[in-house]
Amino acid sequence: VYKRQVERFVFVSTDKAVRPANVMGASKRLSEMLVQGQNGCGLSDTKFMIVRFGNVVGSVGSVVPLFKEQIQKGGPVTVTHPDVTRFFMTIPEACQLILQAGAMGNGGEIFILDMGTPIKIIDMARDLIRLSGFEPDVDIKIEYVGLRPGEKLYEELITEGENIVPTRHEKIMVLKGIECDLQLLNGKIDELAQLAQEQVGNRIKAKLKEIVPEYKAAG
């Protein structure tokens, strides 16, 4: 980034970075901290900012293509838990959020799209079954397979204590930026990188917990 004199850097994060319950979420939160910490260090004129996404409908790994594939095979459609909910956004909304963040950001902010009310995954599964011309639990069975380790019933986009600042875009919220804080992070990230080289899982989780105190490791 510095070498190429990039003017603006937008890091794509996830709602799993909020009170993370697994390594993926904790590593994303750590990445947010690292990106935010680049601002105000005097290392370059690059403006670093973050966008925090929920689920993008139709993207790789989205539940919708999985459900469609299961329906085409005659079922069952697998849902982790009857009460699990998720935020969803479309691919155009995701692209617009990245572009708007790049245009509006002054450095250090976390941009979030107002994604409305979270959707129950079981309702989405039933709707897709009906839209495919079948009756849920009659033509196509639904099976509950249980939450995976580190998986939450619901995701959040904002951690308590994060300061929300309005933007000129009515659908976009922004969390206030932080100043340079690289010295502390860099030492710990070096230690984390060494543990990753050694592939010591429990020590990696312990180091992530040290850096990201809100990380609640499963198991």
Catalytic site residues? 16
Distance CA 17, CA 214 (A): 10
Distance CA 43, CA 182 (A): 11
| Alpha helices, DSSP H, located in the chain | 23-37, 63-72, 91-104, 121-131, 182-198, 201-211
Encoded amino acid at 209, one letter: K
Beta-carbon count within 10 A of 76 CB? 15
Q: How far is CA 160 from the centre of its chain?
A: 16
Tell me how many degrees the CA angle 187-192-193 measures, rounded to the nearest 5.
100
Asked whether 44 and 2 are in contact (CB, 8 A), the reply is yes
